[in-house]
């Protein structure tokens, strides 16, 4: 089970020093606010301080050696000496220059950041384990329960901020540790901004209301977007909604093992372009989801990598018409043996509240 990490080491005199929260959690299955993971060619160590000692020994992966340190650098140096390590690779994406300089000063080995380590770990993380899939599903279920109840608060005169608060309260109530990101609960003209921020704007008849929402469960994120109409929807609103929904479904149809990731984006984008809204869809069709809300793969036309079973990606095409309205419809999909499976159980047809 740890092979996928120890196999990253090609030379027995090399080791990885992992300090980012997400990768420490990913490798060790243990979460702490401080500490390190060291990977050698045949061993994985989890280093934590006194505050986490007992919990780490009980809760981390059994194959991992837990070290409770007084001084992190002394403990790292002991491990380096034990394995005769000459070079330590750090995560270039998350280590500050300050910390790199400290490591260079304190560690009895060469410290290097040119290993593309962060990318390699991100690429391991794209394929989810059954345990990770279950956690993302739980995060999604929490989101859905909170969302369905929050819909009841959408009435004329209620502010975007109030709707946001109702959603946040409910995800905590139903077991989330926190929201997956600041919820986007926006209406009317505000919906033309893909990442609009909830304000004191109040709901009016004829508005679209967009929810881009998610929850975190045991470190794992969920992501969903729904656009609903309030009171009524004009023909133009219905037209745009249906184009986005069809684009979403066309993209979803492409999801299967060995399919190029670019094909998922292109099928959604071509459909939107066909109706003349290409310039109103300025973001990627989707992204991976897991310990971070945005992970690899990036679902875009330039990504020629292939989908693999048990990747989890979002499909979230949108059309945003400046100063008017926007529509986005997003679900997470798991790549299955022959196709895909939605992690969401919320209908995507237009609803009018």
Burial classification of residue 26, based on how many CB atoms lie within 10 Å of its CB (0-12 exposed, 13-18 middle, 19 or more buried): buried
Nearer to Mn ion, 223 or 265 (CB): 223
Pick 91 or 223: Cβ nearer Mn ion: 223
Could you tell me if 297 and 309 are in contact, meaning their C-beta atoms sit under 8 angstroms apart?
no
| Nearer residue to Mn ion within complex by CB, 150 or 284 | 284
In the complex, what is the shortest distance from the CB of residue 214 to Mn ion, in angstroms, rounded to a whole number? Answer: 8
Min. distance of Cβ 145 from Mn ion in angstroms?
A: 19
CB of 322 to Mn ion, least distance (A): 21
Whose Cβ is closer to Mn ion: residue 64's or residue 224's? 224
Sheet holding 286-288, edge to edge: 295-299, 286-288, 312-315, 331-335, 340-342
Smallest separation, CB 319 to Mn ion (Å): 16
DSSP letter, residue 317: -
Q: Which CB, 52 or 211, lies closer to Mn ion?
A: 211
* Position closest to Mn ion via CB: 223
Pairing of strands 178-179, 215-217: antiparallel
Instruction: Read off the DSSP letter of residue 52.
Output: G
Q: For the residues of 141-175, what is the DSSP string, one character each?
A: HHHHHHHHHHHTT--TT-BHHHHHHHHHHHHHHTT
Contacts of 236 by beta carbon, 8 Å cutoff, 6+ apart: none
Residues contacting 294, CB < 8 A, separation 6+: 287, 288
Shortest distance in whole angstroms from residue 256 CB to Mn ion: 21
- Rank residues 162 and 226 by Cβ distance to Mn ion and give the closer one: 226
Least CB distance from residue 280 to Mn ion, whole Å? Answer: 18
Tokens (6 digits) for 96 = 């500050």
**Side-chain-side CA neighbours of residue 231 (13 Å):** 12
By CB under 5 A, name the binding residues for Mn ion.
223, 314
Rounded Cα distance between 315 and 344, Å, is 12
- Report, in Å, the least distance between residue 184 CB and Mn ion: 10
CB nearer to Mn ion: pick between 262 and 314: 314
Closest CA to 211 of 288, 147, 141: 147
Minimum distance of Mn ion from residue 293's CB (angstroms): 7
Phi, psi of 76 (to 5 degrees): -65, -45
Q: Which ranges of 48-152 does DSSP label H, i.e. alpha helix?
A: 53-59, 72-82, 97-106, 117-125, 130-151
- The Cα-based distances of 266 to 143, 242, 302, 328, 339 in angstroms read 29, 18, 9, 17, 17
Smallest distance, Mn ion to C-beta of residue 208, A? 18
Residue placing its CB nearer to Mn ion in the complex, 221 or 254: 221
Q: Please, which residue, 144 or 223, has the CB nearer to Mn ion? A: 223
């Amino acid at each position: 089970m740890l092979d996928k990490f120890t196999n990253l080491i090609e030379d027995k005199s090399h080791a990885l020093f992992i300090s980012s929260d997400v990768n420490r959690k990913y490798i060790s299955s243990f979460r702490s606010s401080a500490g390190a993971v060291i990977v050698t060619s045949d061993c994985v160590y989890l280093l934590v301080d006194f505050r986490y000692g007992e919990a780490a020994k009980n809760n981390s992966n059994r194959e991992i050696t837990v070290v409770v340190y007084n001084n992190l650098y002394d403990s790292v140096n002991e491990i380096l000496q034990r394995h005769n390590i000459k070079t330590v690779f750090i995560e270039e994406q998350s280590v500050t220059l300050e910390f790199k300089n400290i490591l260079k000063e304190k560690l009895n080995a060469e410290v290097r950041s040119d290993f593309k380590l962060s990318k390699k770990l991100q690429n391991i993380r794209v394929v989810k384990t059954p345990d990770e899939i279950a956690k993302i599903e739980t995060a999604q279920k929490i989101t859905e329960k909170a969302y369905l109840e929050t819909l009841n608060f959408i009435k004329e005169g209620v502010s975007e901020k109030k709707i946001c608060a109702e959603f946040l309260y409910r995800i905590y109530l139903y077991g989330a540790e926190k929201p997956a990101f600041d919820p986007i609960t926006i209406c009317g003209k505000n919906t033309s901004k893909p990442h609009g921020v909830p304000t004191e704007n109040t709901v009016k008849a004829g508005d679209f209301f967009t929810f881009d929402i998610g929850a975190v469960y045991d470190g794992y994120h969920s992501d969903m977007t729904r656009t609903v109409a309030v009171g009524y929807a004009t023909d133009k609103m219905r037209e745009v909604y249906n184009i986005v929904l069809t684009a979403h479904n066309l993209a979803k149809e492409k999801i299967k093992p060995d399919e190029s990731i670019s094909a998922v984006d292109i099928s959604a984008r071509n459909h939107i372009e066909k109706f003349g809204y290409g310039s109103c869809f300025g973001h990627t069709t989707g992204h991976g989801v897991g310990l971070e809300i945005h992970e690899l793969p990036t679902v875009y036309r330039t990504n020629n990598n292939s989908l693999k079973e048990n990747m989890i990606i979002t499909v979230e095409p949108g059309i945003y018409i400046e100063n008017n309205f926007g529509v986005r419809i997003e679900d997470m999909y798991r790549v299955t043996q022959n196709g895909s499976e939605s992690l969401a159980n919320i209908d995507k047809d237009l609803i009018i509240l």
